[in-house]
């Protein structure tokens, strides 16, 4: 009996992350549509950062033991160099931390 349980448990392929489009976001969480709809997703962010992904963005969903979690959106970082960081909003506001120590706010260098 234990051998059958072990084989069954370890022979099943674990579900993997999927990507799809954000098609809804509200106070109950986001919804992402890929091969099916993933509803009421909680989002996963680094501590101290919270974001609501806009509808239409490409998002990644990861299944967990107790449900699913939205890992975030697939970003286009083509304007950044390795090691740089950007925070931006749908409306166009941005903060960029450059490798040389400069800070750009909405494209303008911040003078301290």
What pLDDT does residue 94 have? 93
pLDDT attached to residue 76: 78
Query: Tokens 């166009």 label which residue?
Result: 92
Phi-psi region of 3 (alpha: psi -120 to 50; beta: other; left: phi over 0): alpha
Question: What CA–CA distance (Å, rounded) separates 51 from 45?
Answer: 8
Q: Is the dihedral of CA 25, 31, 94, 96 positive or negative?
A: positive
Q: Residue 96 is inside which H or E element, if any?
A: strand 94-97
Cα separation values, 64 from 9, 16, 77, Å? 16, 9, 28
pLDDT, tens digit only, all 112 positions of the chain: 455 555 555 555 566 888 899 998 777 788 899 888 888 888 888 889 888 888 999 999 988 888 888 888 988 777 899 999 999 999 999 999 999 999 999 999 998 7
Q: Residue 77: helix, strand or coil by DSSP?
A: coil
In the prediction, which pLDDT does 1 show? 46
Would you state the pLDDT for residue 11? 53
Q: Return the percent helix, strand and coil in the chain, to nearest 5.
A: 10, 45, 50
* CB atoms closer than 10 angstroms to residue 104: 15
- Domain segments of the chain as ranges: 10-73, 76-112
């Amino acid at each position: 009996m234990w051998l059958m349980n072990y084989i069954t448990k370890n022979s099943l392929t674990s579900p993997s992350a999927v990507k799809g489009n954000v098609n809804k976001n509200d106070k109950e969480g986001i919804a992402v549509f890929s091969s099916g709809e993933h509803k009421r997703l909680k989002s996963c962010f680094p501590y101290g950062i919270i974001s609501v992904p806009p509808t239409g963005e490409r998002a990644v969903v990861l299944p967990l033991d107790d449900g699913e979690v939205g890992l975030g959106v697939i970003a286009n970082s083509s304007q950044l160099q390795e090691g740089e960081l950007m925070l931006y909003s749908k409306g166009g506001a941005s903060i960029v931390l450059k490798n040389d120590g400069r800070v750009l706010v909405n494209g303008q260098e911040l003078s301290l």
